[in-house]
């Protein structure tokens, strides 16, 4: 089962913006707008940040935004807070496999 491709780590200073990418293919991200992003704090359950590429659930700050270009989805976090540290995962509906996750990106707030 193929995983979506995410860079291992990214960092930024408080107040800066970072963008995390999630590369898929024409069998998943490229063909469907069923992409979600999750944030994991160590030892805590995942939290939904974005669904359907760019839709933000109620209660998620507008500092978090999602987008897509071709086969790649993006999560942008603006005005970084120390609490934003942790692991970020994308997932997408995929032909045959139904749902695939990325391998995760670790965000460090310097």
Partner 1 sequence: QDQLVQSGAEVKKPGSSVKVSCTAFGGTLSSHGISWVRQAPEQGLEWMGGIIPFLGATEYAQKFRGRVTITTDESTASMELRRLTSEDTAVYYCARVDCRGGSCYSAKNFYYFHNMDVWGQGTTVTVSS
| Positions in 34-53 near partner 1 (CB under 8 A) | 34-36, 38, 40, 45-48, 51-52
Tell me 60's DSSP state: S
d(CA 59, CA 3): 29
Site map 51..90 versus partner 1, x via CB under 8 A: xx----x-------------------------------x-
Which two structure tokens, joined as six digits, stand for 86? 């942790």
Q: Closest separation between CB of residue 77 and partner 1, Å? A: 19
d(CA 16, CA 71): 26
Let me know if 78 is exposed, middle or buried by CB neighbors in 10 A (0-12, 13-18, 19+): middle
d(CA 63, CA 80): 8
Q: Closest separation between CB of residue 63 and partner 1, Å? A: 19
Is 99 an interacting residue with respect to partner 1 (CB under 8 A)? yes
Q: How many chain residues are in contact with partner 1, going by CB under 8 A?
A: 27
Residues that bind partner 1 (CB under 8 A): 1, 3, 34-36, 38, 40, 45-48, 51-52, 57, 89, 91-93, 96-104
């Amino acid at each position: 089962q193929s995983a979506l491709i995410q860079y291992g780590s990214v960092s930024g200073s408080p107040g800066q913006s970072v963008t995390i990418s999630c590369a898929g293919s024409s069998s998943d991200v490229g063909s469907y707008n069923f992409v979600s992003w999750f944030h994991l704090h160590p030892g805590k359950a995942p939290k939904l940040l974005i669904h359907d590429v760019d839709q933000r659930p109620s209660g998620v700050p507008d500092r978090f935004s999602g987008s897509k270009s071709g086969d790649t989805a993006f999560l942008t976090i603006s005005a970084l807070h120390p609490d934003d540290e942790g692991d970020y995962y994308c997932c997408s509906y995929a032909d045959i496999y139904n749902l695939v996750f990325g391998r995760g990106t670790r965000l460090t707030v310097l």
